[in-house]
A = this chain, B = another copy of it.
Amino acid sequence: MRQKPTVLARAIVATSRLFRVEELQLRFTNGVERTYERLVGTGSGYGAVMVVALIDDQHALLVEEYCAGTDDYQLSLPKGLIEPGEDVLVAANRELKEEAGYGAHQLEYLTELSLSPGYMTQKIQVVLARDLYPKRLPGDEPEPMRVERVNLRELSALVRHAQFSEGRALAALYLARDLLVQRGVLVL
């Protein structure tokens, strides 16, 4: 990998309850200097988890939630912040119970995805959940989430659904699908 630019100065230039913006003065190895900004978390710092939960060998669960960013109800994967000291798989199972009303007997770590690495520090851990059973835990959601199913063989159609748009959730679904195909569980 290339030698990283030198950080000449850094400062927090904006803060809110959830967000913090850091300004960086950088000098690249070719001598060019630039001012960058990046979003750094104000959360627990333990990261976040996203769950591809298989209700059968072909279908994953989606939850419908009001999204303030896009100001509409969107379908996405169950997800949330990992609590201090909480294991990633335990966090995944907890979020699945809180948001979708299911627990999983089998939990498997898939990968880590970044949000927008140029501008944001945020990363999310992707977990595959199988062998589900009904189990609801109370969460911090303002209202119950409606649960839907998506057929893993129809992911390219999912982006045409007016209520689905989240890139990293789609990536997680595709990764899970690839894995199931490689293992011979799913045939496309």
> Which residues of chain A have a CB within 8 Å of any CB of chain B?
1-2, 4-5, 13-19, 21, 23-24, 26, 28-30, 32, 34-39, 64-74, 76, 111-124, 142-143, 146, 155-156, 159-160, 163, 165-172, 174-175, 178-179, 182, 188
Contacts and interface: CB of A to CB of B under 8 A. Distances in A.
Contacts of A16: 13-14, 21, 23, 37
A36 B159 CA distance: 26
Q: Which of A15, A21, A121 has the most CB of B within 10 A?
A: A21
Contacts of A39: 19, 39, 69
Contacts of A66: 2, 4-5, 26, 28
21 contacts: A2-B64, A2-B146, A16-B37, A19-B19, A19-B37, A24-B68, A38-B69, A69-B114, A69-B117, A69-B119, A70-B114, A70-B117, A74-B117, A112-B165, A113-B159, A113-B166, A115-B167, A117-B166, A156-B179, A156-B182, A159-B175
- The main secondary structure of chain A at its interface with chain B is mixed
B155 A30 contact: no
Q: Enumerate the 3 nearest inter-chain pairs by beta-carbon distance, A residue then B residue, closest first.
A: A167-B168, A113-B167, A67-B117
Q: Which of A2, A115, A116, A160 has the most CB of B within 10 A?
A: A116
A154 B4 CA distance: 28
A2 B115 contact: no
A100 B69 CA distance: 31
Nearest to A175: B156
A143 B32 CA distance: 8
A69 B121 contact: yes
Contacts of A67: 117-118
A83 B14 CA distance: 26
A12 to B, nearest CB: 9
Nearest to A50: B167
